[in-house]
Structures are given as structure tokens and as C-alpha cells.
Structure 1
Amino acid sequence: MLRNREIRFVLMLMCTVSLIVLAEAAFFSSVSVVFVLITSVLLIGCSLVFTRLRYLEVEKLSSYLRQISSGNYSLDVRDNREGEFSILKNTIYKVTVMLSEQRTLLQKDKIYLTDAISDISHQLKTPLTSMMVMADLLDDTKLPEAKRKEFTRNIRIQLERLDWLVSSLLKLSKIDAGTVQFKKDQVLVAELIHKALQPVLIPIDIKEQTISITGEDNVSFVGDLNWTTEAVINILKNSVEHTYEGGTIVISFSENLLYTEIVIKDNGKGIPKEEIPFIFKRFHKGKGAGESSIGIGLSMVHSIIMKQNGTIEVQSELHKGTQFQIRFYKQIV
């Protein structure tokens, strides 16, 4: 304790004051000197004991903080008594809990990042391996022209798939990182649906499917037209892919005081009940997914809608169809 400069200073000050008082008491009587001496010793002793106890508390807190810095967050230093030390202990405990929660979140992020890298590597490996094999075969000068065209076409398809995968992953990473600034424009749902249908009109025509759209032209919500269009396109692609030839896709939208609702329903293959909780999970591929499916489209749909104060729910039954219900809730002021 005496290694602390402030303690030495206070001790010297008290001793100096005691000596001055003793010197003054000597002018009166020896009894006064004894009385002053005993009083000074008791006061200095009490002060040292009190200071020692305070420094023991400080030492305990120092030990506690050292254990926290080494990664031990299980200790509880809370003190329900009144006083500055109790407030300090409770504050340190709150910081400890916060650090523990942040550490848990960081650990989850590391696991998530590891899994994501593993999934991405797996998704990239398949088309790259396929292209490498076909590229080796194209080196064969005796390869028939028909096969050469077929391999070239397959390489182009795989490259398009890789381009879409990388583009989607970049979009998802931006959304997850919070770097995407979603606009807050007044979006007309009729315009949104019209824009989202353009990329899927040819597949719909090829499969001779029927599109039915119902809703008022003035139905709208506050959001980002381009990003929401991206989400709706992915839902429509999913519906077209899993709806039989000659099937029907019904799109309806409405608005009330609480939310704007968009419903996309098909009469296609449907989703097994046990798979519904996982369809928005990244890289999840259902049993009925096509070979070209990567399992990232619906994950991006979920992220885009949730970031715009919205929700998305799925109802499905095997061989009877699937319904996606999107709701954009209005901001309450």
C-alpha cells in the first residue's frame, strides 16, 4: 500500500500535523502531550486501516478486470449496497455482460462466415470443374464439330451461372452489411408487378402458363422500387420453374390502414411441409429444386423485404401449389 505516492503523501502530512500539535501541547503539560500522541496514533491508524480496506477492494477489482481480459466472463462482481464502490462494481459488471454478448456475437459471425465461405466454395467448384473438363476436351483436334459447339454452349451457360451467383452474393453481402441505402419512395404496386414480369414473360410463354393480376392501380407502399422488383422477380422465377406447363400464376395486391399486401400464388408442385421453415436459408436447396438452382434467390428476397419494414410468409401444399404473401407495413408517426 505504501508504494502508492498519494498514500505516502497523506501519511507524511498527518505525521507533520501531529508533530506540530505535539510541539504546541508540550507548552501546556505532559498530560496534553500524551493525549495528543494517543489521539494522533489512533487517527493515523484508523486512516491507514480504512485506506488499506479500500485498496483491497481496488485490488479485487483489478484482479476481476484481469480475468475479464483473459476471457473469463463468468464472474459476478455486482454489489447491491450503496456507495461509489458499489456503483463502480455494478458498472463494471454491466460492461462485462456487454463484452460477453459481443464476444458471443463475434463467435457466431465467425461460424457464419466460415459456413458461408464453405458454401460459396462448393457452389463455385462444381461449374469450374465442369468448365475445366470441357476446356480440356476442346483441345482435342479430333473432336467432332457438334460436340465442340455443345461444350462451348455448356461453358457459356456455366459462366452465366457463375456471373449470376457472384452478382447475387455481392448484393446479399451489401444488404447484410447494411451498406445498401433503400430508398423511401412511394411505389405503385401495379408498376412494380409490370416491371418484375418482364424477365419471366418468355419462360411463361414457353410453358404456356397463365398470369392473372388483380388489384387497384393506386395501391402503393413506401420502399425501393428497384430492390423490391429484384425480390419479386426471384419469387416469380421460382413460381414459373415449379409450376407445370399450362399452369396458372395469380398475383393480387391490396392496401389497408396497416399495410400493403402482395400475394403471388401458383398451382405448381408445392413445397414439402418439413422444408418450408428453411426455404429462406442461404444455399438451401429443396428436394424438388432444379439442377441449376443455387438456393440463394429466396434468401435475397427475404433480406430485401425485411430491410424495408416488411414480412414474407409462405403457405404450400404438395402438388397443389405455393403462395407467397408479402406485407409492407406503414410507418406509424
Structure 2
Amino acid sequence: MQTAMTILCLSVAGVGLCLGVGSFLYYRRQLRLFSNILNTFEKTGELVEGENRETMESKLLSRLCRVLKRSRQKEEQTGKERQEMAELLSNLSHQLKTPLANILLNTEILKEGRLSQEEEKQFLLRNQEQAEKMQWLMKTLVKASRLEQGILVFDIFPASLVETLARSISSVYALAREKQISIETQGLKECVCCHNPKWTAEAIGNLLENAVKYSPAGSKISIETEVMELYANVKITDEGPGIPKEEYNRIFRRFYRGEQAEQQEGSGLGLYLAQVILQREKGYITVSKGRDGGACFSVFLLLKE
């Protein structure tokens, strides 16, 4: 009887020892798996979940992988935002450098007191122009950034497209008249589009302002509309130097200025803001070559359902 009890105790102890060793080996294997995953994530940023079994350890491993993925995504997003901010500050610094230098130079000349009353007036007007340019640059940049981030919102509702176009044309009429540029409307079709007249007029006004700026004196800018199945298409065609095809996808970037644009004063924000406004209205802009070699911008606005 005593021998049997001893054998039983030894058997239980042996089983317990085997279970303990097995558990130790199993959990050591799981710890190695976790360690390998963490090492791989630290070195490459990639995650390999390994075995996909319905066990508590596998579920824990999956949770760990999801947490690490979210951490990596947040890290990448933060890095992207820092890079965009650095680029924004660099571009803004470059844009403000010239008008600020002009203001400082004009102020130094005024301080010398050698100018006539008429000359002083001219220098003060130049300073005012440079200050207004800086103010416009900051307002436009802040406006576009707030629109992109959804901080600034505006209502979209059915409204007359022709009335919006008239509003856009009136905003650049004086500028076009100075260069003896005619703005001709060809076959404008009355239609109702889902947009905000004030903001859309500003977007199209930016396109018209660019057309006037880069077109030669005495030339023509034509505006025509086409009613499609879902959209109304507003085509703005000028007789300027045109835009190289390789720049079509770049001209709507913030602060981007092509080779042709470098010969004219500008900021590279007009087309960028126009695109942001139209995207908020679920519309878009494209650019192509005009009939006579100039540029043709097409604005697409959703028709009223």
C-alpha cells in the first residue's frame, strides 16, 4: 500500500513537472515570438503577426500588432505634418522676403529726407502696395489652410451660374481694361449649379486674373459654358504663352510657379485657392492647351439634381 502511494505521488510529481516544463517552454516560445515582432517593428517598421490561432496569446498578439500599427501611423502622420509645416514656413519666408526688403529700402530712402514732396508720396504709395501684397498673401494662405482643414466652411446651394460668372468678370474688368484685353462670353447657357456664388466667383475670378496677367495687351479672353449630364463646364481660354503639359499637375500646388509665371509678379496661391474652393463644392478644375496656343481652364460644377 505504501509502495503504491509512493508510485502515485511520484507519478503526480512527474506529471506536474512535465506540465511545468511544457508551460515554461510554451510561454518562452510566445515571449520569443513577441520579442521577434518588436525587433522587426523597430528595425523595419513592418509587423508580422505569425500564427493565427484562436488562443488568448494569439488574440493578445493581434492587439499588440494593432497598437503598434496605430503608433506607426500616428508617427508617420506627425512626420508628414512637420515636413509640410517646414515647407510652408520656407515658402512663406521666400514670398515675404521681397516685399519686406522693398519696404525697408524705401523707408531708408525716405529717412534721408532728400526727396521732393511728390517723390515722397510715390515712395509711400510703393510701401503701401508692398504692405497690401503681404497682407493679401497672409489672408489667402490662412483662408486656404482653414478651408482644407474644415475650420472654415460655407453653404452650398442651387444658384444661377451666369450670375456667378458676371460677378467674377466684374472683379477683373478694370484690370483687363488697363491692358485693353476684351473678355468675351460665348454661348453662355443659363443653368443652376450647386455652389456658393461668393466663393465660386472668387475661384473663377482667380482664373480670370491669371488670364489677364499672362495675356498680351490687346488680346482676348473667352468664356463659354457647356451643360453636361452631371456637371456644368465653364471654359476660360486666353491668348497667353500657355502652360507646358508637364506642369499641368503641378500648377495647383501651393506656391508653385512655372517657368512662364516667373516673368510675372505673383505668389502661386491663386490657382491653389481656386482648387480648394471647388473641391469643397465637389467640383474640380482642369487645364489644357487653348485653341490658339494659350491656356484653357475648365471649371466643373455639379448641376442641381
TM above 0.5, yes or no, is yes
2-structure distance, mates of 1:45, 1:186? 80
- Compared with structure 1, are the counterparts of its residues 187 and 56 closer, same or farther at alpha carbon in structure 2 (3 Å cutoff)? farther
- The answer as to 2:58 corresponding to 1:86 is yes
Cα distance in 1, alignment partners of residues 85 and 68 from structure 2: 25
User: The residue matched to 2:248 in structure 1 has which SS?
Assistant: helix
1:283 maps to 2:255 = yes
Residue 224, structure 1, aligned to residue 196, structure 2: yes
CA distance in 1, matches of 2:155, 2:33: 49
Per-residue CA shift, 1:74-133, capped at 9, x if unaligned? Answer: 354312442223343344334434433443333222222111101101111111111011
Q: Specify the alignment match of 1:178 in structure 2.
A: 150
Structure 1, unmatched stretches of 5+, are 1-28
1:165 deviates by: 0.4
Cα deviations by residue, 1:239-281 (Å, 9 ceiling, x for unpaired): 1112222322222223333222222112222123343332112
2:300 is the alignment partner of 1:327: yes
Deviations 1:163-200 (A, max 9, x none): 11011011121123221223221132112111212211
Structure 1 CA distance for aligned equivalents of residues 222 and 25 of structure 2 = 77
Aligned partners of 1:182 and 1:308 also within 8 Å? no
Structure 2: gaps spanning 5 or more residues: none
Partner of 1:20: none
CA 148–104 in structure 1, closer or farther in 2 if over 3 Å, else same? same
2:155 match: secondary structure: coil
CA contact (8 A) 2:192 2:304 kept: no
**Equivalent residues of 2:224, 2:234 under 8 A apart:** yes
Specify whether residues 319 and 125 from structure 1 end up closer, same or farther in structure 2 by C-alpha distance, changes over 3 A only.
farther
CA–CA distance in structure 1, aligned partners of residues 86 and 193 of structure 2: 37
SS at 1:157 equivalent:
helix
Aligned length: 302
Contact 2:290 2:296 in 1 (8 A): no
The answer to whether residue 243 in structure 2 is matched with residue 271 in structure 1 is: yes
Deviation at 1:315, TM superposition (A): 0.6
Partner SS for 1:46: helix
Contact residue 68 and residue 96 of structure 1 kept, 8 A: no
Q: Percent identity?
A: 25
| 2:92 is the alignment partner of 1:120 | yes
Specify the alignment match of 1:107 in structure 2: 79
Q: Report the Cα offset of residue 32 of structure 1.
A: 4.0
Provide the rounded CA distance (Å) in 2 between the counterparts of 1:81 and 1:199: 64
Is the Cα–Cα contact under 8 Å of residues 77 and 89 in structure 1 kept in the other structure?
no
TM-score by length of 1: 0.80
Q: Who wins on radius of gyration, i.e. which is larger?
A: 1
1:77 counterpart residue number: 48
1:233 pairs with one of 205, 225, 237: 205
- TM-score (normalizing by structure 2): 0.87
Matched with 1:140 is: 112
Instruction: Return the alpha-carbon distance in structure 2 between the equivalents of residues 167 and 90 of structure 1.
Output: 48
CA distance in 2: counterparts of 1:331 and 1:101, whole angstroms: 39
Contact 2:193 2:304 in 1 (8 A): no
Distance 2:197 2:18 in 1: 75
